[in-house]
Amino acid sequence: MSRREELADGLAGVRRRIAAACAEVGRDAEEVGLTVVTKFFPATDVRLLAELGVTDVGENRHQEAEAKVAECAGVGVRWHFVGGLQSKKAAAVAAYADVVESVDRAKLLPGLSRGATARGRELDCLVQVSLDPPGAEGRSGVPPEGLADLAERVTATEGLRLRGLMAVAPLGVDAAEAFDRLAAVAADFRTEHPTADWLSAGMSGDLEAAVTRGATHVRIGSAVLGPRPSIK
Ligand SMILES: *Cc1c(COP(=O)(O)O)cnc(C)c1O
């Protein structure tokens, strides 16, 4: 099988899963955007994905992302930055990203703002919410009690456009339970920010749990691209 056929197969499988999860809860599959996370995979895969109809790709490491964006000049995809971000890299990321999904602290905002303004366009931002049990040492994200303040600061920052929330289900926790909590946080958040209605949740292993709980965007890597090499 050619790489193109492998990717087409992977995409078809993921699209079927999204459609089935939507059908389960009476949602229209068109409501769920697919971001293919291409970290560790080459720019040639991004080109093939674009030819196969993918409009949004995700990356989680600045150096790799920056290089890949440059290699993909002319490929019409939107780039989502989904990884942990150092504040000193924030301006550089804003120079190529169309969406930064991992805004998890106020310290990132000045750099993101500078990068976006220098580029002369608004940067779509999602605030990453932590779904870790209180006190747990886990993946990044602002704890729900810090969300209102951080979201307010994003809306007050020049060059940034608050679009919604992103979350990753914690390891070792039932994803359905985690995404139930996320749905409650998101409902509350939307009363304050009704137009910031994106909810990015769900990966290869748990997309159904996320889609049935209201995710508007899923971030899928291995189910489309195959297993990632563990060391680069
Ligand atoms: C890698 C990654 C994904 C995709 O993970 P898969 O399990 O391969 O689908 C999604 N979100 C984030 C933040 C990631 O870093």
CATH class of segment(s) 3-225: alpha beta
Q: How far is the CA of 219 from the centre of ligand 1 (A)?
A: 6
Residue in this structure with the two tokens 């971030």, named with its chain if needed:
219
CA-closest residue to ligand 1 atom 12: 82
* Residue 231: per-residue pLDDT: 54
* Residue 43: per-residue pLDDT: 97
Tokens of 29: 């599959």
Q: Which of 206, 213, 100 is nearest to 154 (CA)?
A: 100
Ligand 1 atom with the smallest distance to the CA of 204 is 9
* Residue 172: per-residue pLDDT: 86
* Residue 112: per-residue pLDDT: 98
Q: How far is the CA of 103 from the centre of ligand 1 (A)?
A: 16
Ligand 1 atom with the smallest distance to the CA of 222 is 8
| CB burial of residue 186 (10 Å; 0-12, 13-18, 19+) | buried
* Residue 228: per-residue pLDDT: 87
Cα 31 → chain centroid:
15
Cβ neighbours of residue 17 closer than 8 Å, sequence gap 6 or more = 207, 208, 223
pLDDT tens by residue, 121-140: 999 999 999 999 877 776 68
* Residue 69: per-residue pLDDT: 98
* Residue 134: per-residue pLDDT: 74
C-beta atoms surrounding 168 within 10 Å: 26
Q: Which parts of the chain sit beneath pLDDT 50?
A: 232
Ligand 1 atom with the smallest distance to the CA of 203 is 9
* Residue 31: per-residue pLDDT: 95
Taking the domains of the chain in order of start, what are their residue ranges?
A: 3-225
pLDDT tens by residue, 9-56: 999 999 999 999 999 999 999 999 999 999 999 999 999 999 999 999
* Residue 88: per-residue pLDDT: 97
